[in-house]
Amino acid sequence: MQVREILRVKGSALFTVSSSQTLSFAIDSMADLDVGSLVVMDDGKMVGMLTFREILLALRAHAKGPDDLTVGDVMVKNPVTAFPDMEVNELRGLMIEKHSRYLPVLDGGVLMGVISFLDVAKAVLEEQSFENKMLKSYIKNWPSETPVA
């Protein structure tokens, strides 16, 4: 299974914020949208990623509140990215190695979507469930060995 298949099932909705917006605005957006990440876009280009991890680290590290910090102050610049032809096992390994729960997917510099670890887990579960059903059907319909007289 490839990343493009996960995006096709998941959909390509992108939730974005600009680097100049307040962290407070980003937190409200993430809560309203029930998402764990936002793609940071400036002038039509991805410049970073903001996840709840960066928000928590920023709030702990700064005496300032979320109204006094911008998204650009706390975002991950140059985030690790995936590409549509990447196999799911390679994607899982990359996410684990880089400790990333959310990866933007780029195709030749064009942002196609964001894949979360939850999206990967769902896709793998569905694929395994399908394979399990196929194997059970194959075994159930296995020709019985009738002796030939």
| CATH code of the domain in which 71 resides | 3.10.580.10
Output the pLDDT for position 72. Answer: 96
Output the pLDDT for position 109. Answer: 86
Residue 147 lies in a domain: no
Residue 126 lies in a domain: yes
Residue 145 lies in a domain: no
Q: What does pLDDT average to over the chain?
A: 88
Q: Which residue has the tokens 């399990």?
A: 132
Cα–Cα distance measured from residue 89 to residue 2, given in angstroms and rounded to the nearest whole number: 9
Residue 148 lies in a domain: no
Q: How far is CA 117 from CA 3, 102, 126, 135, in A?
A: 12, 6, 14, 27
What is the count of structural domains for the chain?
Answer: 1
Output the pLDDT for position 42. Answer: 96
Average pLDDT (77-83) is 94
Residue 26: name the closest of 80, 81, 72 by CA: 72
Full-model pTM? 0.79
Beta-sheet strands, E only, within the chain: 16-17, 37-42, 45-51, 76-77, 102-107, 110-116
Output the pLDDT for position 116. Answer: 93
CA geometry: angle at 59 spanning 50 and 31, to 5°?
Answer: 50
Residue 35 lies in a domain: yes
pLDDT digits (tens, 9 = 90+) for 86-127: 999 999 999 999 999 999 999 988 999 999 998 998 887 776
Average pLDDT (4-8) is 90
Residue 77 lies in a domain: yes
**Domain encompassing residue 56:** 3-140
Average pLDDT (29-57) is 95
Residue 27 lies in a domain: yes
Q: How far is CA 129 from CA 2, 26, 116, 122, in A?
A: 17, 37, 20, 10
